[in-house]
């Protein structure tokens, strides 16, 4: 069974504190990622994105890419890591998160 909240939490912890809150009555949630310096990212995730594992993974990858760019990483290397085959993608994504 797909648990979107676990999928999101697993993607960003332990590097970031993950806070998920109900944002709208339509089922959208607000994702806030924080570290010791405070909030580093906030994203609204729609109910449709949250309930579709593929769409949710795209949102997660997009957030990872944005964070990597903000931290001065090479966007082409980050994109390459995110677009590898699915077996390698999880490993590459975990490397980006660390």
Q: What is the pLDDT of residues 21-73, one digit of tens each?
A: 998 888 899 999 999 899 999 999 999 999 999 999 999 999 988 888 888 87
Cβ burial, residue 22 (10 Å; 0-12/13-18/19+) = exposed
Cβ burial, residue 80 (10 Å; 0-12/13-18/19+) = exposed
Q: Whole-model pTM?
A: 0.73
């Amino acid at each position: 069974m797909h648990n979107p909240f676990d999928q999101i939490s697993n993607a960003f912890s332990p590097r970031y504190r993950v806070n998920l809150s109900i944002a709208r009555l339509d089922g959208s949630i607000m994702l806030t990622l924080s570290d010791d310096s405070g909030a580093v990212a906030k994203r609204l995730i729609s109910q449709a994105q949250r309930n579709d594992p593929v769409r949710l993974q795209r949102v997660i990858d997009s957030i990872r890419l944005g964070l990597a760019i903000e931290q001065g990483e090479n966007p082409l290397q980050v994109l390459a890591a995110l677009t590898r085959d699915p077996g390698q993608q999880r490993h590459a994504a975990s490397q980006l998160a660390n």
